[in-house]
Amino acid sequence: MAEQTSAAIRLPVAFIEDLSRAASIEAVLATAAAWLPDLNDADRAKLTFRDDTRLIARGARRDGMHDIDEDLAPIRPGDPRDRVLQSGLPLQMDAAALGRDPDPAIQALYDQGMRTALFVPMRTAGATVGIIGLQRRAATPFGDLQIRQLGAAGSWIAAQARLMQQLRSNARLAETDPLTGLANRARLMRVLDGPGALHQADGHGRIVGVLHVDLDRFKEINDRLGHATGDAVLTQAAEIMRQTAGPTDLVARVGGDEFVIATRTDRQGRHLARLAAALAGRLAAPMRVGGVDIRCPASIGTAMANSGASTGSNKGAGSGTSAGEAGTGAERLIANADLALYEVKRQGRGGVRAFATEMRDRFEARRSLHAELRAAVEEEAFEPHFQPIVTLADGALAGVAVLARWPHPDRGLLAPEGFLDAAAEVGLAARIDTIVRAKGLCALARLRAAGWTAPVMSVNISADTLSDPELPETLLWDVLGQGLQPADLRLDVAESLLIADAEGRVRDRIAALCAKGFAVEIDEFGTGHAAMPRMRQLQLRGLKLAPALTEHLPDTCAEAILGAILAMGAELGLSVTAKGVETAEELARLHALGCDRAQGRAVSAPLDEAALTDYLRRHGNPRLPLAAG
C-alpha cells in the first residue's frame, strides 16, 4: 500500500522540468496552471501566490484557455482561501457549500457552473505561501490521492516561486544603491542599453535624455561635518531628485556625489531644460540636517540620445548635438552629459549646460594636454624663469619672482596660464611646484657660488602644495641642502586660499612656515573680500597686489583704492609689491603713492638663468629712471 501511495503522488518529470524552466513567479504559476486540470481531472485551475505585500494569480481551463487575474479579489479574513492560508490544510467544497458561501470569489465559481472546489496550500520551508484551487463542473469530490498529489505539486510550485522571488530580490539589490535606494550604475546601463532605448522615439516622439548631476560642495561638507552628515545630505538630495523627476524617469546614483537621471524629452530638449532648471533650483535651497541648514548646490550637464532621425543642432539644456552625434550607446550618452557637466565646473560650478559637439573637441585637447603634462612632469621638463622685483624708492634689486615655464616641443615656451589649470585638474600642480622650486634653488645656489650677491627668491605655493603637512620641514631641507637659509626664500600664498580657509588649515600651515624662518606674503591681494580679518593672526611679511589693481593707473578711483591698501599695509607693517606693472607711468604713480616694490615688464621681462646672470652683471645695483612724482 505504501508503494502504491508513493507511486500515486509521483509527479510527471515533464511537469517538474517545465517548472524549472520558468523564469519568473508569473511563469511558474502559469506553467503549473496549464498542467493541473489534466493531471487532476478538473475543469479549471487557479494558483495564487503571496509575493511580499501583493498577490499574484494565474489560472487555466482544461480547454487550454488561460486566465490572468489582473483584478484579483482580495483574500478576506475568514473566507475559504484565508482558512487554507492560516491552517495550512486543504479544503474541499461541494455544490451546497459553494452556493451558500458569502465570499464573492466563491460565489463567482458557483455562478460559472462549478460544483466541486478544492483548495490546497502551497508550502515550502514550513510556511504556506499560496493556494492551488481546482474546480469541477461535476459534483464529484477529489480523492485523497489526488489531494496528496496536489500537495506534492504545491511544494514544487512554492519552492520554484520562492526561488524566482529570491533571484528577483538579489537582482534588485544588485541594481540598487544601498544608501539612497536609487538605481545604481548597473541598472542605469541595463535600462539605457535595452532594445531600442537610445535609438527609437516613444509613441509621443520623445527621445532619451540624461542629466548628470554633481553636488558641488559635498566633499567639503563630508570633510567638515562627518560622514553621517554627508550620508544625510546624499539621502535628501536623492529624495529631491526622485520627487523632481517624472514617474517614469530613472534616477540613479553613479558615484559618491554623482547622479544621473534618464528621462524622455522632446527633440528640441525643452523638457530636459525644464527638468534641469527645476532640479538646480531645488538643490540650491538649504537642506535641514541635524537641526542645521546646509547648502549643497549642484552642477548639471545634459545630453540627448539619437532619435533615429536627423534633427540638426538643437538649442537649450538638451541641445548642442545632432541626432547622429550623441546616442551611439549608453556610455557615450552619459559621457556627453559628463562633458557638459565639466563645462559647468570649468566656468565656476552651480549651473546647467547642454552637450555641444565642440565640448568634445575641447575635452580631447584637454586630455592630450593632461597626457603631455604627465610626461613633462616625469621628465622634469619645467624650468624656472626669474622676474626681478625692485624697490621703488631707489630702484635697487629686492628679489626675483620664480615663474614656471614649460618648453613645449610643439608650442614653444609656455607660461603658467597655458598649463597650470590643466595640471591642477590631474593633481600635478604640486609636483610642478616642487620641480620649479628645486631648480630655482639650485640656480640661486650657483649664483652665490659664482660670487654674486644673489637676490631673495619668491615662489608661488599652490593649494595642493600647501595641503602637504610636511611642507615646512620639506622646504627647510630643500634650502639647507643648497647651502641657503630660509630667509633666502619668500613664499607667495594666494589670497583666495585664505578666503576659503574655513577650517584654519592654511593659517596653521603659514604659521608653521613662519616658525621655520620663511617669509610669507599674500599674493594676488585685492581680488577677494574676506582675507583681511585673518591677516592680523598671521606673521606675514608682505602683500603682492593683483595686476588688476594697477592696470587702470593713473585713474583717480584706482589710485584711491591703492592708497587705502598701501595705508593698511603700512599700518600692519607689511611691505607692498605691485605686480604686472607694464609702463614707466605706472611705476611713477606707484612710487608717488608710496608703494614699496614693483614687478612687471616695466622693470624686466622674466629671465632664464643665463639672462638673470647677465642682468646682475649689468645691474649690480640697478636704478630705474623714475618720473617726478
pLDDT of amino acid 479:
94
Q: Cα(515)–Cα(539) distance, rounded to whole angstroms?
A: 9
CA–CA separation, 119 and 91 (whole Å): 5
DSSP of 373-427, one letter per residue?
HHHHHHTT--EEEEEEEEETTT--EEEEEEEEEEEETTTEEEPGGGTHHHHHHTT
**How is the chain split among helix, strand and coil, in percent rounded to 5?**
45, 20, 35
Q: What's the confidence (pLDDT) of residue 268?
A: 87
pLDDT > 70? residue 314: no
C-alpha cell at 379: 621628465
| 68, three cell numbers | 490572468
Q: Quote the CA–CA distance of 251 and 275 in Å, as a whole number.
A: 12
Q: Which residue has the higher pLDDT, 309 or 273?
A: 273
Opening angle at CA 226, ends 225 and 230, nearest 5 = 90
DSSP letter (8 states) at residue 166: H
pLDDT of residue 8: 46
C-alpha cell at 560: 584711491
Residue 73 has what pLDDT?
Answer: 61
User: Among residues 265, 241, 266, which one has the least CA distance to residue 252?
Assistant: 241
Average pLDDT over residues 111-128: 93
Decide which of 353 and 217 is more confident: 353
Which range is least confidently modeled, 244-253, 285-294, 493-502?
A: 493-502
pTM score over 0.85: no
CA–CA separation, 25 vs 122, rounded Å? 13
Answer whether 226's CB lies under 8 Å from 220's CB.
no
Weakest-pLDDT range from 234-238, 307-311, 352-356, 363-367: 307-311
pLDDT-derived band at 572 (thresholds 50, 70, 90) equals confident
Are 579 and 547 a contacting pair, CB within 8 Å?
yes
CA of residue 201 relative to chain centroid, distance: 28
Question: Letter for the amino acid at 472?
Answer: P
Closest CA to 425 of 355, 345, 351, 336: 345
Confidence band (pLDDT; 50, 70, 90) for 6? Answer: very low
**pLDDT of 197 higher than 80:** no
Residues 387-424 have pLDDT tens digits of 999 999 888 899 999 999 999 999 999 999 999 989 98
Q: What is the 3-state secondary structure (H, E, C) of 51-70?
A: ECCEEEEEEEECCCCEEECC
Q: Which tens digits make up the pLDDT trace of 490-505?
A: 999 888 887 776 667 8
Give just the sign of the alpha carbon dihedral 73, 76, 80, 86. Answer: positive
Average pLDDT of every residue of the chain: 85
**pLDDT of 334 higher than 80:** yes
pLDDT of residue 148: 92
Confidence of residue 5 (pLDDT cuts 50, 70, 90): very low
Nearest to 327 by CA among 192, 188, 185: 192
Task: Spell out the residues 6+ positions from residue 382 whose beta carbon is closer than 8 angstroms to its own.
Answer: 376, 404, 405, 406, 432, 435, 436, 439
C-beta separation of 76 from 168 below 8 A: no
- Calculate what percentage of the chain has a pLDDT beyond 90: 50
Residue 523 near residue 491, CB atoms below 8 Å? no
As a whole number of Å, the end-to-end CA separation of the chain is 126
Residue 122 has pLDDT above 90, yes or no: yes
pLDDT (mean) for 46-75: 74
Sign of CA dihedral 194, 196, 202, 205: positive
Question: How would DSSP label each residue in 438-465?
Answer: HHHHHHHHHHHHTT--PPPEEEEE-HHH
Domains and CATH numbers, the chain: 2-174 (3.30.450.40), 185-355 (3.30.70.270), 386-403+456-618 (3.20.20.450)
* Lowest-pLDDT choice from 7-11, 129-133, 502-506, 523-527: 7-11
The C-alpha cell 583666495 sits at 496
CA distance 511 to 514: 5
pLDDT of residue 199: 58
Across the beta sheet with 91-93, the strand order is: 66-68, 54-61, 44-51, 127-136, 116-124, 91-93
Grid coordinates 487532476 are at which residue? 40
Q: Which residues contact 614 (CB under 8 A, 6 or more apart)?
A: none
Predicted confidence at residue 320, as pLDDT, reads: 41
CB 39 within 8 A of CB 184: no
pLDDT value at residue 530: 46
Tens digit of each residue's pLDDT (9 = 90 or more) over 424-452? 889 999 999 999 999 999 999 999 888 88
The alpha-carbon radius of gyration of the chain (Å, integer) is 39
